[in-house]
Structure 1
Amino acid sequence: MSQHRPTGAPGRASVVPALPDLPEATVARLPEYLRALHHLAEQGNDTVSSEGLAAAAGVNSAKLRKDLSHLGSYGTRGVGYDVALLIEQIEFVLGLTQRRAVALVGVGNLGHALAGYAGFASRGFRIVALLDADRERVGEEINGLVVRHIDDLPRIAAEEPIAIGVIATPATAAQSVADQLVAAGVTSILNFAPCVLSVPEGVDVRKVDLAIELQILSFHEHRKASLTALPATPGPGLPSVPIGLTGTGAQEAVAT
């Protein structure tokens, strides 16, 4: 995905370079660096070493230095990185120099929580529309916004271009909602519904599936439990039991 800094863009034009193609893995880590940098700035830090920033972001320092080199930021030997400048660079790369309009579709339990989350505004986003197909929810006010019917989406998109659509509906409705968002000109979608969306080329979809994340953590819990449950090494003269063999099978192995 090629991006270039437009002429006259805000910021330190002499320092922030035109954007190169960035590896997807690097793009995925930049928000973590930005979060850590904001925290450092709030604590009054003007500079930070690569090791300090890497630790705060939860990555190794070599990977961080390589990621930041894509931005043309190499730090200063013995000093580290300028925190304010690096925040500016990353925010520009991520397109956060303008507050992007977001439409949230689906105001059930999850959607209601997302609509009330104050962190979006501080991270460069503003929710401009709350939409739902349930007419009983239409007219409800959440965090200063009135819920409108999904059929109003084309009118809303005509009034204010929507940069990102967030889908927080049941899986059965998600594809239809995605189709409506695409028809309204939305080319970036964040999908919380547990399903795979089919979208045209040029439309970017990010999927957040909490159940999958829990299943991955379950694997790690299962692995840790299996490691701690390994039998102890038998003492002299005691037969060993093959790993995973229990009950009658274990007794037969010992007898053998």
Structure 2
Amino acid sequence: MADGRLRRIPEATVARLPVYWRALLELAEEGTPTVSSEGLAEMAGENAAKVRKDLSHLGSYGTRGAGYDVQLLTAQIGHELGLNEDWPVVIVGVGNLGRALANYRGFSSRGFRVATLVDADPAKVGQMIGGLVVSPVDDLPALVEREQLAIGLIATPASAAQGVADRLVAAGITSLLNFAPAVLTTPDHVLLRQVDLSIELQILSFYERHPLEVAMRRAKMVGDLAARPAPSF
């Protein structure tokens, strides 16, 4: 649901909000009433100054000497992320990855409901996966309308990903999460996020081959922590 307030939150901040929210959930489950910016930063793997700046974009500045109210901040970030709404999701491609995503129960606790599964392979159509029957890809327009689908997850081979994205957009989907190792092109009004596991592994392999880079990154983090001013909250 769109927020009509004229306030722009930087993209980098948006990317960190789910990490803060997850940390706050842990604190809430432990019964912790408040958290300092330093405490939240440590849990999120960030520095306290960045946490304070990020949360200031939400209009949350904490209380001097007390920090942030855990329940209030959890609710505030959850609202900004739309986690108090129902987001019906379609997964296209029910190979190994698609099946794993369909069976993952963590989505529903975050407000994302896998509503339908789609595949182009006739041999997979009609199968029951994660409590859902796989539908043919030609049914996408009707499924989007019937289920009021909001988000499309692409878990197809790379060669099929662009065609699937085009069909999802044509059916009315405006948010896509692509797991296929392919660079996709979408219209300007479509939000596209890419999760390429092979790229993440390649980044890790770079640092495995260049341990000095890892040491420098860690030294910088230690330096940032040592140089930070005394916290006000």
Give the whole-Å Cα distance in 1 for the aligned partners of 2:186 and 2:214.
43
Q: SS of 1:28's equivalent?
A: helix
Query: Structure 1: 5+ residue runs without aligned partners?
Result: 6-17, 229-256
Deviation at 1:135, TM superposition (A): 1.0
* TM-score, with structure 1 as normaliser: 0.81
Q: Deviations over 1:72-102 (max 9, x none)?
A: 0011111111111111111111122201010
Which of 157, 161, 167 aligns to 1:170? It is 157
**Structure (1 or 2) with the greater helix fraction:** 2
Give the whole-Å Cα distance in 2 for the aligned partners of 1:158 and 1:78.
51
Please, which moves more after superposition, 30-39 or 136-145? 136-145
Deviation at 1:122, TM superposition (A): 0.6
* Runs of 4 or more consecutive aligned structure 1 residues displaced over 2 Å after TM superposition: 225-228
Q: Please tell me whether residue 118 in structure 1 is matched to residue 105 in structure 2.
A: yes
Which of 193, 201, 209 aligns to 1:222? It is 209
Give the whole-Å Cα distance in 2 for the aligned partners of 1:93 and 1:211.
30
2:37 — aligned with what? 50
> In 2, are the aligned partners of 1:98 and 1:124 still within 8 Å (CA)?
yes
Give the whole-Å Cα distance in 2 for the aligned partners of 1:227 and 1:151.
48
Query: 1:1-256 residue pairs with structure 2 within 5 A?
Result: 4-5=3-4, 18=5, 20-224=7-211
Which structure has more relative contact order (CA 8 Å, sep 6+)? It is: 2
Amino acid at match of 1:4: D
Deviation at 1:225, TM superposition (A): 7.4
Deviation at 1:217, TM superposition (A): 0.5
Cα separation, partners in 2 of 1:73 and 1:141, compared to 1, 3 Å: same
| Paired-residue identity, % | 63
Q: Deviations over 1:30-53 (max 9, x none)?
A: 000001001111111111111111
Task: Calculate the aligned-residue CA RMSD, in Å.
Answer: 1.6
Deviation at 1:160, TM superposition (A): 2.0
Give the whole-Å Cα distance in 2 for the aligned partners of 1:179 and 1:194.
16
1:236 — aligned with what? none
Q: Deviations over 1:107-162 (max 9, x none)?
A: 00000001000000011100101000111111111121111111111111111221
Q: SS of 1:127's equivalent?
A: strand
> In 1, are the aligned partners of 2:207 and 2:213 still within 8 Å (CA)?
no
> In 2, are the aligned partners of 1:4 and 1:20 still within 8 Å (CA)?
no
Counting matched residue pairs gives 214
Query: Structure 2: 5+ residue runs without aligned partners?
Result: 216-233
Deviation at 1:4, TM superposition (A): 2.8
> In 1, are the aligned partners of 2:207 and 2:214 still within 8 Å (CA)?
no
> In 2, are the aligned partners of 1:100 and 1:126 still within 8 Å (CA)?
yes
Give the whole-Å Cα distance in 2 for the aligned partners of 1:52 and 1:169.
40
